[in-house]
């Protein structure tokens, strides 16, 4: 079935690690009364499955207040550095991507969404009404993530650079802005400023 045959509206927010996508997408969804879809959480859940010895192409992931892998609440377990590292590895596997993209398309067809990830505007939903590519300088992104995790910014910067490189260079669905995406550099902007700007673009 064609995505465009659904009346649902979609705002795609893509960008590299630590650009603030989750926080921004969640806030934009709240401001507009849309559902929020965190596609990264799906890749993280698939990574956790792989680390547990299960097939990451056959995961049953449920997103919401909590993230479920099968019947297991993995909300916290998918945020460890080990899973973060593994997520960008399983995300390069076309079979994993195929399974998760299908799930994402099914979810966003059900109603208005703000979806965030790496390939929402390029692959998952090229027909999205608004596409935003969120960036910030690598140092700023590492600083934000380190503050969030209570970790060392230098170490995060190294880990983040490796993951960014892997996401940008992979053959399938590499991280890049859609040709019609609005690029928004959030370096030096507050969360409210970023949210206001995106909500302004929608209206």
Binding site for ligand CDP (CB under 6 A): 17, 22, 39-40, 43-44, 87-88, 91, 117-119, 163, 167
> Minimum distance between the CB of residue 100 and ligand CDP, rounded to whole angstroms?
8
> Minimum distance between the CB of residue 203 and ligand CDP, rounded to whole angstroms?
26
Strands 130-135, 10-14: parallel, antiparallel or unpaired by DSSP?
A: parallel
Residue closer to ligand CDP (CB basis): 17 or 24: 17
CA distance 57 to 61: 11
CA distances (Å), origin 48, targets 52, 59, 99, 140: 6, 10, 16, 28
Q: CA torsion sign, 138 to 144 to 148 to 150?
A: positive
Smallest CA-to-CA distance from 40 within 58, 15, 60, 57 is with 15
Place of tokens 């998918």: 78
Residue closer to ligand CDP (CB basis): 39 or 186: 39
What is the side-by-side order of every strand in the sheet holding 72-73? 61-62, 68-69, 72-73
Residue closer to ligand CDP (CB basis): 88 or 186: 88
Place of tokens 């959030």: 186
> Minimum distance between the CB of residue 128 and ligand CDP, rounded to whole angstroms?
13
Q: Which tokens in the block code for residue 57?
A: 């192409």
Report whether 22 contacts 98 (CB < 8 A): no
> Minimum distance between the CB of residue 39 and ligand CDP, rounded to whole angstroms?
4
Residue closer to ligand CDP (CB basis): 44 or 131: 44
Residue closer to ligand CDP (CB basis): 5 or 24: 24
> Minimum distance between the CB of residue 139 and ligand CDP, rounded to whole angstroms?
16
């Amino acid at each position: 079935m064609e995505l465009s045959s659904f009346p649902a509206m979609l705002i795609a927010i893509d960008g590299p690690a630590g650009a603030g996508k989750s926080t921004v997408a969640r806030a934009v969804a709240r401001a507009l009364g849309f559902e929020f879809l965190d596609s990264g959480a799906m890749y993280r859940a698939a990574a956790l499955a792989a680390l547990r010895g299960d097939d990451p192409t056959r995961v049953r992931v449920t997103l919401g207040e909590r993230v479920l892998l099968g019947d297991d609440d993995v909300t916290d377990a998918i945020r460890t550095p080990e899973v973060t590292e593994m997520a960008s590895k399983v995300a390069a596997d076309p079979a994993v991507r195929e399974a998760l993209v299908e799930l994402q398309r099914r979810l966003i067809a059900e109603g208005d969404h703000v979806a965030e990830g790496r390939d929402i505007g390029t692959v998952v939903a090229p027909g999205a009404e608004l596409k935003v590519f969120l960036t910030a300088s690598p140092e700023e992104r590492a600083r934000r993530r380190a503050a969030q995790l209570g970790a060392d910014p230098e170490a995060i910067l190294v880990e983040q650079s490796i993951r960014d490189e892997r996401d940008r260079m992979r053959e399938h669905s590499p991280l890049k802005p859609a040709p019609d995406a609005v690029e928004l550099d959030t370096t030096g902007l507050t969360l409210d400023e970023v949210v206001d700007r995106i909500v302004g673009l929608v209206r």
